[in-house]
Structure 1
């Protein structure tokens, strides 16, 4: 049965379940009495939806609270163990895979180090193998069954497009990927049941989603979340783009005929502010970064050289490179301020958090000096709050958001829009022999199925 606006009763039920689930998830525990005004649903609708969710095991009781002169009201919350998601961060130095319950508590994690080829390209087969092996390992560690997953979310560098034929396709110029059908390759492995979906998106966007839902962006209507690692990326969240839009901020030109970026162009912001380029500039200026180590360890070394923890003599070359990087980063943030005029800019990523702890105030100063006065005076520039692993949390949010949108129904419970109603299937044989199929009825009319 369809409502007047084209929505079916099934649509309305799903929307009501979504409203209650989301309110309990973000603001719970709550009573049935509080859920009414919080969701805009009638008390009868709340009662029916809660009963449905309790029966499905998605919601559980969480104590009680005294009411004004009446019986204590039972509090409800989303049951953490009623769903599980996997988040994957395909980063610059490793592939990190984490298994979460519905509350986003980490149940298992594994990491696979990445060894780049000489041109910094990622080997597609290696990445696919790391993701699949990581998924298998975290499920085995936590004792979970693949078919129970709500989905696998994956944060990738580069531009991610979606097509009906290939699913998610990754265009990653800096990692040597040209239209790689990553979703199809993962799906073709047959590791997960067909009903368990993959959600693949840009890593900066997954970071942005995590910070907006649970971190420093919570409560803001619009923000820009910056991912600062070996490279540089950003996610813009506005009223028009609620879940964020990844932008290739790291490839804005900040210096004409400047340094060669790993994307191949000259003068990109990433060629000056990315951790990989920062360490290269330190070495070119005469610095001595440690050999045979990862970028995170090398970045710690340049900070220690510029600001010796034992109070020794600072390395002026390291200090100068870091100061120049702070100015480039501030100038890059000013472009985001002028373009999008956000309420907040949040700096995340392993390099952003490591450098931001010391240079955030300097970066703020440069950002305000390069930006237009009015939007600069309204923006707050802060560090992200979810730590260097926030990309995996954001990736896990992708199947979680889909779960909410389906009213808490698992992927295996979805009914295809192409399937006929169950009554038509059950009564198919009888319908074939009914008078409607044979001709006029006794009343002289021809019956037709609705």
Structure 2
């Protein structure tokens, strides 16, 4: 039997609040008349809802503009400083925590190396909570002003219980040894701030789509190229999640059956060939890279420098092969999803991108169908190497906008937006 959706007056009012708040947030200063034209809401609805938003302290007047033959039109904007957002990137080598204002200007940040503890769950939880306290203190803001904490994690994020109960969020991360880790419940013991948990590549995807290289596209793939490899597939402007939210594990598609062992336990994964960890490991094993620093980022920078000097044929061959593999795998994305745009981000993608992008584009052209390839641009991300942290902060921002500015309950976490 088909279930009918019944909207109450409260649902409609919340929807109107969300529509107007989103428009004001993303478009900036706008008049009531422009809001009506842009959203299709009636003048009465716009007037009533804007009045509510102003009474709640979310929206304020911001000057005026002349109108044709009438009174000047008052401009409106989302009120600056009404709240703060926290983003957390649980990366491969560190936990990064950033605190932002509502315009996503970074006010404070801290980087905490995972050190010898690796991804031990208790250790990661302690680092997140310590980082949260540190950035709130460093920015000099009150905890009650924080609208929520977004957390980007490696692996698959499962909502294993009722929507809205973050204590039922489970994280499955084979590459870091996490199996159904109740991260929300563990963090809840140390904070009552609303928690929003999602895959790191998906947080990067949302940030690039809202503020970066994906802006304006309805169909795109945002690729995360760091220690590992992931992707966020955007269809009709919305992240595609699949049946159990595991869509986008691009790094574990196979490029060589029976090939190199991947961190996930399988063989021949894309990540085992082009992930930063794999590249540095291969360089150390096959060439002069054996003498490089054990630090992964320093190792990849040294690999790139050796290739650019032209005195290390192993480094040059590795990067040429990386571009070929990435281009061929991007061709698979083009043939499968027919995106308008493919964006390469992540710290390793942005480090190697200026050198590899032309070769990646050429490889994609060689391996993809000609017609969809001609409609797809392949470009680098615009938000920098810490875009996962910024993207994580968009999770509570999305909840704030979706709710029309209604505060989240401090009991339990809010699920990542779908």
TM-score, reference length from structure 1: 0.85
User: Secondary structure of the equivalent of 1:80?
Assistant: coil
Q: Tell me how far apart the structure 2 counterparts of residues 44 and 77 of structure 1 sit (CA, whole Å).
A: 19
State the match for 2:181 in structure 1. Answer: 180
Equivalent residue runs for 1:310-389 within 5 Å: 313-389=310-386
CA contact 2:175–2:263 (8 Å) conserved in 1:
yes
Does residue 1:152 correspond to 2:166, yes or no? no
State the match for 1:85 in structure 2. Answer: 85
CA contact 2:220–2:233 (8 Å) conserved in 1:
yes
Q: Tell me how far apart the structure 2 counterparts of residues 218 and 405 of structure 1 sit (CA, whole Å).
A: 19
State the match for 2:34 in structure 1. Answer: 34
Q: Tell me how far apart the structure 1 counterparts of residues 5 and 234 of structure 2 sit (CA, whole Å).
A: 29
How far off is 1:62 after superposition? Answer: 1.8
CA displacement, residues 3-54 of structure 1 (integer Å, 9 cap, x when unaligned): x973222112111111110111111211112111111111121111111111
Q: Tell me how far apart the structure 2 counterparts of residues 185 and 413 of structure 1 sit (CA, whole Å).
A: 15
CA contact 2:89–2:95 (8 Å) conserved in 1:
yes
CA contact 2:85–2:393 (8 Å) conserved in 1:
yes
1 or 2 for the larger relative contact order (CA 8 Å, sep ≥6)?
2
> Which sits farther off after the overlay, 32-41 or 342-351?
32-41
User: Secondary structure of the equivalent of 1:230?
Assistant: coil
CA displacement, residues 33-85 of structure 1 (integer Å, 9 cap, x when unaligned): 21111111111211111111111111122222121122221211111211211
State the match for 1:70 in structure 2. Answer: 70
Equivalent residue runs for 1:203-242 within 5 Å: 203-239=200-236, 242=238
CA displacement, residues 164-197 of structure 1 (integer Å, 9 cap, x when unaligned): 27422111101111111111100123x22xxx32
Q: Structure 1: where are the runs of 5+ without partners?
A: 415-450
CA contact 1:209–1:244 (8 Å) conserved in 2:
no
How far off is 1:302 after superposition? Answer: 1.0
How far off is 1:293 after superposition? Answer: 4.4
State the match for 1:298 in structure 2. Answer: 299
Q: Tell me how far apart the structure 1 counterparts of residues 409 and 248 of structure 2 sit (CA, whole Å).
A: 34
How far off is 1:146 after superposition? Answer: 2.5
State the match for 2:127 in structure 1. Answer: 130
CA contact 1:18–1:405 (8 Å) conserved in 2:
yes
> Which sits farther off after the overlay, 179-188 or 371-380?
371-380
User: Secondary structure of the equivalent of 1:147?
Assistant: helix
How far off is 1:97 after superposition? Answer: 0.5
Equivalent residue runs for 1:402-413 within 5 Å: 402-412=399-409
Equivalent residue runs for 1:202-281 within 5 Å: 202-239=199-236, 242-245=238-241, 246-281=247-282
User: Secondary structure of the equivalent of 2:288?
Assistant: coil
How far off is 1:334 after superposition? Answer: 1.4
* The structure with more radius of gyration: 1
CA displacement, residues 353-412 of structure 1 (integer Å, 9 cap, x when unaligned): 111111101001111211222222221111111111111111111111111111111114
TM-score, reference length from structure 2: 0.91
Q: Tell me how far apart the structure 2 counterparts of residues 289 and 70 of structure 1 sit (CA, whole Å).
A: 74
User: Secondary structure of the equivalent of 2:95?
Assistant: strand
How far off is 1:219 after superposition? Answer: 1.1
CA displacement, residues 216-251 of structure 1 (integer Å, 9 cap, x when unaligned): 111111111100001100110102x71343411111
State the match for 1:108 in structure 2. Answer: 108
Q: Structure 2: where are the runs of 5+ without partners?
A: 242-246, 412-418
CA contact 1:208–1:244 (8 Å) conserved in 2:
no
